[in-house]
Amino acid sequence: MKYEAVKNYYNGQFFESAATESLDVVSPIDGNLLSRVPMSPVGELNAAVASAKTAFEGWSRTPIKERVQVFFKYRYLLEKNFDELTALVSEENGKTWDEAKAEVEKSIELTEFACSMPQLVSGEILEVSKGVECRTEHFPLGVVASIVPFNFPLMVPNWTMPNALVLGNAMIMKPSELVPLSCLRMAELLKEAGLPDGVFNIVNGGKEIVAGICEHPDINAVSFVGSTRVAKIVYRAATANLKRCVALGGAKNHLFVLPDANPTMTATNVTASMSGCAGQRCMAASAMLAVGDVDPIIDGICAEARKVVPGVNLGAVISKAAKERIEGYITEAEKAGAKVLVDGRGAVVAGKEKGTYVGPTVIDHVTPDMSVAREEIFGPVISIMRTKTIDEAVRIENANPYGNAASVFTQSGGLARYIMEHASAGMVGVNIGVPVPREPFSFGGWNDSRFGANDITGKSSIEFWTKLKKTTTKWNPEAGINWMS
């Protein structure tokens, strides 16, 4: 075992869990055992929440200009430990070095946004009647929770933690049991940056801890990122317990490819979108709507896909179970009559035979009823559906229950605008394979890709992590009294 067993973290200290059950943490790159993660009992969540509740008292009363100083230092520490964090993300998640590096870079960018919060939450003031002022202020919620998935062990925790904490909350983080190591390092860096003990806490575990979070009377808000199946469980449980909740779910992102699209740019962008992070991105291209004759572009995508080589410029998928699930989808589509143009099944990387790899896969002549057309595969697979018209393609996209992202490849501004308006997705791209909105814009899908009123990052997150106080003031007794005052 390369690292010591994963501990919980609260009150500024690491604690060995009293859990009777633990799971192996295995590197998808080569199948090596990295650590073991405890399935903590709910009592440990209670201890963490108690420590957060105490810390909240002082932290929430610290002026935001001072709170933000911790995050300037945290940002510096992310940079200082850049290579080590990159290696850790790659090791526990299976990403390539460049992908893991991008995850650390994005974590830095997210922290920079959090550092700009004092400029964004200064509140408003208006004289609403003669001598009478109304003023608004953002107040933190208290103890909040963040439940995160396996596919971005560092970036997704940094979607929530810096904003929530800068805004004055104390947090319980529940990492994915598949990749718990990056979060632990985050806790160490926050402590080094000067964050007061108890403001950030980690409780490792599975669904019992998640249920405990949704039920805990001292947790006021729950953010969740993961699959739609679990997002629904969490959203229902948290809101049934009268908590504020935003729950981001899975995705089935459609790319519309029109015959006038730039062939080279389209082929490279589509391939990068479907194969980047081994297809394990909620923004990954998963279905392609080929409108009219786009055969030369499909040939280009196949040529690009063949340049993506497992273990070289393609990382591993998270587990053996994930590899089997992804390959099962491809086999099922083939049996149902689809044509596998580039086949990533059975990928093995020499010297890393226990690693879990799936090569890039391009499946053509998929029909909308096939499971590869409807369901999230979460692997480096693109399912191509042929349509005669744009409206037929729009109908297919609109019928899918997800709604995270959609993109169109065309050189026509009018057609791009038409698809941008008609796609049923929260994040839309024009000639961009992965249309992630960068801060200050916010991240969040529609339909079954997000439950709750807010997006999770950017300006929208301010509304999620704070409550507004409205104060009406009159100091001048000489001001006249009318029905408004």
Residues that bind ligand NAD (CB under 6 A): 147-151, 156, 174, 176-177, 206-207, 210, 225-227, 230, 233, 248-251, 282, 376, 378, 404, 445, 449
With respect to ligand NAD, which residue has the nearer C-beta, 410 or 454?
Answer: 454
Instruction: Please identify the residue of the shown chain whose CB is closest to the bound ligand NAD.
Output: 226
DSSP 271-319: HHHHHGGGG-STTSEEEEEEESS-HHHHHHHHHHHHT--BTTTB---S-
The two tokens of residue 21 are: 């059950």
With respect to ligand NAD, which residue has the nearer C-beta, 225 or 314?
Answer: 225
Number of neighbouring beta carbons within 10 Å of residue 179: 27
Catalytic one among 214, 245, 277, 282? 282
C-beta of 56: minimal distance to ligand NAD in Å? 23
The two tokens of residue 322 are: 């994930």
Enumerate the H helices of 400-445 as residue ranges.
413-422
C-beta of 452: minimal distance to ligand NAD in Å? 12
For tokens 């208290």, name the residue.
Answer: 142
C-beta of 410: minimal distance to ligand NAD in Å? 26
The two tokens of residue 57 are: 């008292």
With respect to ligand NAD, which residue has the nearer C-beta, 21 or 84?
Answer: 21
Q: CA 485 to CA 284: how far, in whole Å?
A: 55
With respect to ligand NAD, which residue has the nearer C-beta, 205 or 300?
Answer: 205
C-beta of 360: minimal distance to ligand NAD in Å? 19
Q: CA 148 to CA 160: how far, in whole Å?
A: 9
Range 16-43 burial, b when 16+ CB lie within 10 A, else e: ebebeebbebbbbbbeeebbbbbbbbee
With respect to ligand NAD, which residue has the nearer C-beta, 327 or 376?
Answer: 376
With respect to ligand NAD, which residue has the nearer C-beta, 237 or 267?
Answer: 237
**Residue type for 463, please?**
E
Number of H helices, E strands in the chain: 16, 20
Q: CA 193 to CA 10: how far, in whole Å?
A: 16
C-beta of 209: minimal distance to ligand NAD in Å? 8
For tokens 């860096």, name the residue.
Answer: 189
Q: Which residues contact 401 (CB under 8 A, 6 or more apart)?
A: 228, 252, 447, 448
**Is residue 310 within 8 Å of 358, Cβ to Cβ?**
yes
Is 282 part of the annotated catalytic residue set?
A: yes
C-beta of 480: minimal distance to ligand NAD in Å? 53
The two tokens of residue 214 are: 């949704």
With respect to ligand NAD, which residue has the nearer C-beta, 168 or 175?
Answer: 175
Interior angle at CA 192, CA 79 and CA 166, nearest 5: 80
C-beta of 227: minimal distance to ligand NAD in Å? 3
**Is residue 246 within 8 Å of 451, Cβ to Cβ?**
yes
Q: CA end-to-end span of the chain, whole Å?
A: 70
Q: CA 329 to CA 333: how far, in whole Å?
A: 6
C-beta of 318: minimal distance to ligand NAD in Å? 7
In sequence order, the β-bridge partners of residue 471 are 135
C-beta of 118: minimal distance to ligand NAD in Å? 27
Enumerate the H helices of 147-217 as residue ranges.
155-166, 181-192, 207-215
**Residue type for 230, please?**
V
With respect to ligand NAD, which residue has the nearer C-beta, 304 or 376?
Answer: 376
Q: CA 175 to CA 180: how far, in whole Å?
A: 5
What 3-state DSSP class applies to 35? strand
With respect to ligand NAD, which residue has the nearer C-beta, 287 or 390?
Answer: 287
The residues annotated as belonging to the active site are 282
